[in-house]
């Protein structure tokens, strides 16, 4: 045991920050623009060009992006929004925060994303929107979901927190849905520490989102205090303090330049995991759909005949940190009490959750680290 514990601890996930990011942040601090200003505007322009979206609105988290999308689209009390229980709490919490009701539908066992057939069955007269999730970095079946939305006159707010740089049929995620919401949290494929963004091709919607993200003010700080600005502003909406800062945007500008490299490393390591682990009959490796580019924010395996919790403990004893994504929302105390959910309501989400382990996967890892994880897995479940 002492020998094992002396080994390097392999973290579950770590951000990759270099000298360039540090210099960019220092230059921003020296500029005097700490809050939203020229760097945020530049970051939005670069993101729009990278994703191919007409409009980009940067905010302080993906949660804020989802929340503002619902508000800007007029979704509120008495409305229903269809989403998946197999996601982080923010996806559904924001629906409740605008006074609407989250309606959960199950996932597909093969891809872990929301099942369009189940969406169709869940639509009612009160349904106003669908929030699909690009789980682990793999785009959902967005075309099928958009077809349902068009048929029933619904908005689609794509939760792409895991999927910056991912592609669907050769086109980057961020251009399909009414809005698409990305996360730049510390562990994501690129980071601004905390932060997020909304993409849309609707000009009026983008303008409203920009007003809502900063108290409902007609002008942000850049429009008021830059050389061409004017101090005068008006409150046009009841808004929030959801803006991104220039310090965050400075990080994002450099990280965006490295994003494709980061994603290529993730894909390379994922391919090694899949090649080696699919040989083991007790492990189900992630399925990558043929029409997408998966960017592997997560590498989730499923354990068929081995206790998941014991596996994670044994991996930790060998100096390898793992995680689980996610406990289905309907099993959490808050959602059970509020809506009367019980075990068995969404069997596919539960089946995946009971077996799922997220292995370490991030660009700061070395290839030898990936093979160390693989060797340790084989040893734990007695394949070595």
- 98-99-101 Cα angle (round to 5): 110
Q: Which residues pair with 300 in a beta bridge?
A: 358
Q: Is 125 helix (H, G, I), strand (E, B) or coil?
A: coil
Whole-angstrom distance, CA of residue 94 vs CA of residue 101 = 10
Report which of 134, 136, 74, 119 is spatially closest to residue 270, judged by C-alpha positions.
136
Confirm whether 188 is a catalytic residue. yes
Question: Are the C-beta atoms of residues 255 and 187 closer than 8 Å to each other?
Answer: no
Cα four-point dihedral sign 9, 10, 13, 19: positive
Q: Which of 39, 128, 172, 188 is catalytic?
A: 188
> Interhelix angle for 62-72 vs 203-212, to 10°?
120
Q: Is 304 helix (H, G, I), strand (E, B) or coil?
A: coil
Q: Which residues pair with 243 in a beta bridge?
A: 59
Written as one string, the DSSP assignment of 154-173 is: -EEEEE-TT-TT-EETTEET
Q: Which residues pair with 102 in a beta bridge?
A: 81
> Backbone dihedral region of 375: left (phi > 0), alpha (psi from -120 to 50 degrees) or beta?
alpha
Question: Are the C-beta atoms of residues 216 and 236 closer than 8 Å to each other?
Answer: yes
Question: Are the C-beta atoms of residues 120 and 96 closer than 8 Å to each other?
Answer: no
How far is residue 79 CA from its own chain's centroid?
Answer: 24
Question: Are the C-beta atoms of residues 36 and 245 closer than 8 Å to each other?
Answer: yes
Cα four-point dihedral sign 43, 194, 65, 327: positive
> Backbone dihedral region of 169: left (phi > 0), alpha (psi from -120 to 50 degrees) or beta?
left
User: Any idea which residues carry the catalytic annotation?
Assistant: 188
């Amino acid at each position: 045991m002492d020998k094992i514990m002396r080994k390097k601890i392999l973290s579950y996930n770590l951000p990759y920050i270099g000298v360039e990011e540090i210099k960019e942040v220092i230059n921003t601090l020296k500029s005097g623009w700490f809050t939203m200003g020229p760097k945020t505007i530049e970051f939005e322009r670069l993101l729009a060009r990278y994703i191919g979206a007409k409009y980009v609105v940067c905010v302080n988290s993906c949660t804020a992006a989802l929340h503002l999308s619902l508000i800007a689209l007029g979704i509120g009390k008495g409305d229903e929004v269809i989403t998946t229980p197999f996601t982080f709490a923010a996806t559904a919490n924001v629906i409740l925060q605008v006074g609407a009701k989250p309606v959960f539908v199950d996932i597909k066992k093969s891809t872990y994303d929301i099942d369009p057939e189940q969406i169709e069955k869940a639509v009612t007269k009160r349904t106003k929107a669908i929030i699909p999730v690009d789980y682990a970095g793999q785009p959902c079946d967005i075309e099928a979901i958009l077809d349902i939305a068009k048929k029933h006159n619904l908005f689609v707010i794509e939760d792409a927190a895991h999927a910056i740089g991912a592609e669907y049929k050769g086109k980057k995620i961020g251009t399909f849905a009414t809005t698409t919401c990305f996360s730049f949290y510390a562990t994501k494929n690129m980071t601004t520490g905390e932060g997020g963004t909304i993409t849309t091709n609707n000009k009026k919607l983008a303008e409203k989102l920009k007003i809502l993200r900063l108290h409902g003010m007609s002008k942000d700080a850049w429009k008021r205090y830059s050389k061409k600005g004017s101090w005068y502003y008006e409150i046009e909406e009841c808004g929030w303090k959801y803006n991104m800062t220039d310090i965050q945007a400075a990080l994002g500008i450099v990280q965006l330049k490295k994003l494709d490299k980061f994603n290529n490393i993730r894909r390379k390591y994922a391919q090694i995991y899949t090649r080696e682990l699919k040989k083991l009959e007790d492990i189900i490796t992630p399925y990558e759909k043929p029409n997408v580019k998966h960017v592997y924010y997560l590498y989730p395996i499923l354990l068929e005949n081995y206790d998941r919790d014991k596996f994670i403990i044994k991996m930790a004893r060998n100096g390898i940190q793992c995680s689980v994504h996610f406990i289905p929302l309907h099993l959490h105390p808050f959602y059970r009490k509020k809506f009367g959910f019980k075990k068995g309501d969404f069997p596919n989400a539960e089946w995946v959750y009971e077996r799922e382990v997220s292995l370490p996967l991030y660009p700061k890892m070395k290839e030898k680290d990936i093979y160390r994880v693989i060797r340790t897995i084989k040893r734990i479940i007695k394949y070595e």
